[in-house]
Amino acid sequence: MSTAAFRAGALLLALILTALPARAQELRIGVQVETTSLDPHFASLSANLATAMHVYGALVERDETLRIRPGLAESWALIDDSTWEFRLRRDVRFHDGSPLTAADVKASIERVAAVPNSPSPLTGYTRRIRAIEIVDPHTVRLRTDGLFTLLPSYLSGISIMSRTALESAALPENRSGPLLATSEQINAGKGAAGTGPFRVVEWKRGEQLVLERFDGYHGEKPAWRRVVIVPIANNSARVAALLSGHVDLIDYVPLADVAGLKRNPKVRVRDSVTTRIIFLAMDRHRDQPLLVVDKNGRPLDRNPFDDIRVRQAISKAIDRRAIVDHVMEGHAAATGQIMPEGFVGHIADLAADRFDPAAARRLLAEAGYPDGFGLTLHGPRNRYPNDAQIAQAIGQMLARIGIQTNVVTVPPAAFFPASGRLEYSFLLTGYGIVTGEPSSFMTFSLLTWDKDRGRGAGNRGRYSNPRLDALYDEALATADPARAEEVLRRATREVVEDVGFVPLLHNLHSWAMRPDIDYAGRTDEYTLAHHVRRR
């Protein structure tokens, strides 16, 4: 083909694309869970982190299987036992037009700990950073409190914001501190400048989030000029929205609909194994846990969860295989540990407790509860696939060993703040392990709670095990990856054998979409518009 013909063809293609109706360049996504904030540093919640990945970049990114790769940093290196050096890309600009510099990285990392009232702080990712040194505009050094080999992995969850935009939006009282713009201001669109493939156009809470393509994006350009993310919590309504054409793609396909949608020629379904773990947490910090009573409804004079035999009985009373087969319709894997098979930290010989109600009853009797007791199990409703049904099934299984269980499920908007306030003594919850290894789950959910050190922010039962804490510290101070993984396995075995939590399932996640587009899915369950392709 001649140069003139090539140019003519390119011009014709451009004219055709320009002439396409706006809807053809728009992607509409129906999501089960809406972000709670446009501030990427507000909360370590999956919906928030997924939204942030549309608008912001991080020094280190993760692919669909959670392998780390360069992001805003083109390279990084450990230059001594407590110093990581990151070299930034030089071709990156924020949505406000300012160039990415080390000053933006410094301001963003420092801001994480300054965000108030977070229900799920991101400080677990940054807590070990003690100093940030700007070497030059494109080089930054992060000094940690000793050797921390997982720092690059942890930084994949920290969005880099434009310091210029934050300072411009800052209230007078915040200009001298690290917070700069508040979460409320960012939610209103002030200071929300990232380097991501899309910029925020509008957010109507409960209705829609509208994004538009950022043509100055340094990476591969998205296929979509406009993206509309619509929260649809109701499962049936989300499927109906896809089938009617109101949306083009949905996440969290209801398990009952997966088989039927796969048979529908007008729908494409994609599945992905995930690292999200569904588990039970128990109150370990109150002498008299809330809503835990004897057979006559009177508060117990001691905390039954403090007895390992009670915790073991609860685990043995749960038929995980039945939950997988009948509640989850095969779209999950039973587990007795933190990581699924194939991921760092998985222990091949650590199986889930065998369903054994007779042994569970014996353990309760040995612990001094031959007649059992009563409790309330709280869980979210429509946050994880069939979460309310899982809670009901567990309640029935516990009742068979004498633990009369009142099951209460509430919408996520109420469940997570209440669990953060420690209003529940026995709860079903989940955690998406986006780092692809167990230490982040330990940091958030299992380590002894320490606000100043950013530990145990999601430890809803305030479980504390000094042996676990010590093994965790040893693993994160070990330079040899193989050795560090072995220590993390020991830490996993320690908390499982102590029944510091009750692991139940790892989810299988499904997306459904119109047939002329494709989304391969991600292990972290995120739905990212810039990874949706036209076929």
Same domain (yes/no): 176, 309? no
Give, as one character, the DSSP assignment of residue 304: G
Q: Which neighbouring-strand residues pair with 270?
A: 511
How much helix, strand and coil, in percent to the nearest 5, is found in the chain? 35, 25, 45
CATH value at residue 157: 3.40.190.10
Overall domain count for the chain: 2
What are the pLDDT digits (tens) for 363-413? 999 999 999 999 999 999 989 989 999 999 999 999 999 999 999 999 998
Same domain (yes/no): 59, 84? yes
Same domain (yes/no): 56, 189? yes
Same domain (yes/no): 278, 240? no
**Is 254 in contact with 239 (CB distance < 8 Å)?**
yes
Average pLDDT over residues 132-143: 98
**Is 104 in contact with 58 (CB distance < 8 Å)?**
no
Q: Residue 238 above 50 pLDDT? A: yes
**Plot region of 474 (φ>0 → left; ψ -120 to 50 → alpha; else → beta):** alpha
The answer to whether position 284 is within a domain reads: yes
**Is 374 in contact with 304 (CB distance < 8 Å)?**
no
**Is 277 in contact with 385 (CB distance < 8 Å)?**
no
Pick 511 or 480 by higher pLDDT.
511
| Of residues 199, 174, 250, 186, the one with CA closest to residue 94 | 199
Same domain (yes/no): 209, 74? yes
**What pLDDT, on the 0 to 100 scale, is given for residue 8?**
41
The answer to whether position 235 is within a domain reads: yes
Q: How far apart are CA 465 and CA 457, in angstroms?
A: 15
Same domain (yes/no): 162, 281? no
CB atoms within 10 A of CB 285: 17
**Plot region of 332 (φ>0 → left; ψ -120 to 50 → alpha; else → beta):** beta
Q: Furthest-apart CA pair in the chain: how many Å?
A: 89
**What pLDDT, on the 0 to 100 scale, is given for residue 23?**
66
Q: Please report, for residues 281, 392, 504, the alpha-carbon distance to residue 317 in angstroms, rounded to integers and kept in the order given.
A: 15, 14, 12
Give Cα 495 to chain centroid, integer Å: 21
The pair phi, psi for residue 432, each rounded to 5°, is -90, 115
Same domain (yes/no): 361, 437? yes
**What pLDDT, on the 0 to 100 scale, is given for residue 14?**
43
CB atoms within 10 A of CB 5: 9
- Domain hosting 118: range is 22-267+514-534
DSSP-derived secondary structure for 212-236: EE-TT-SSPPPS-SEEEEEE--SHH
What are the pLDDT digits (tens) for 196-205? 999 999 999 9
User: Based on the number of CB atoms within 10 Å of its own CB, is 139 exposed (0-12), middle (13-18) or buried (19 or more)?
Assistant: middle
**What pLDDT, on the 0 to 100 scale, is given for residue 481?**
85
The answer to whether position 211 is within a domain reads: yes
Pick 342 or 281 by higher pLDDT.
281
Instruction: State the pLDDT confidence band at 452, using cuts at 50, 70 and 90.
Output: confident
pTM for this entry: 0.76
**Lowest-confidence segment of 20-34, 222-236, 291-305 by average pLDDT:** 20-34
**Is 516 in contact with 534 (CB distance < 8 Å)?**
yes
Same domain (yes/no): 239, 279? no
Same domain (yes/no): 302, 261? no
Q: How far apart are CA 532 and CA 529, in angstroms?
A: 5
The answer to whether position 437 is within a domain reads: yes
Compute the C-alpha angle 298/299/300, nearest 5°: 115
CATH value at residue 364: 3.10.105.10
Pick 18 or 81 by higher pLDDT.
81
The answer to whether position 253 is within a domain reads: yes
Cα dihedral angle (368, 374, 379, 385), rounded to 10 degrees?
80
Q: Residue 268 above 50 pLDDT? A: yes
CB atoms within 10 A of CB 141: 16
**What pLDDT, on the 0 to 100 scale, is given for residue 38?**
97
Residues in the chain, total: 535
Pick 452 or 233 by higher pLDDT.
233
What are the pLDDT digits (tens) for 10-29? 433 343 344 345 567 999 99
Q: Round the average pLDDT of the chain to a whole number and report it.
A: 93
Same domain (yes/no): 341, 402? yes
Instruction: State the pLDDT confidence band at 454, using cuts at 50, 70 and 90.
Output: confident
Average pLDDT over residues 445-465: 92
**What pLDDT, on the 0 to 100 scale, is given for residue 6?**
40
Average pLDDT over residues 85-112: 98
Give Cα 351 to chain centroid, integer Å: 24
Q: Is 268 helix (H, G, I), strand (E, B) or coil?
A: strand
Q: Residue 292 above 90 pLDDT? A: yes
Q: Residue 119 above 90 pLDDT? A: no
Same domain (yes/no): 87, 207? yes
73's enclosing H/E stretch is strand 73-80
Same domain (yes/no): 284, 227? no
Signed CA dihedral, 368, 371, 376, 377: sign only: positive
The answer to whether position 2 is within a domain reads: no
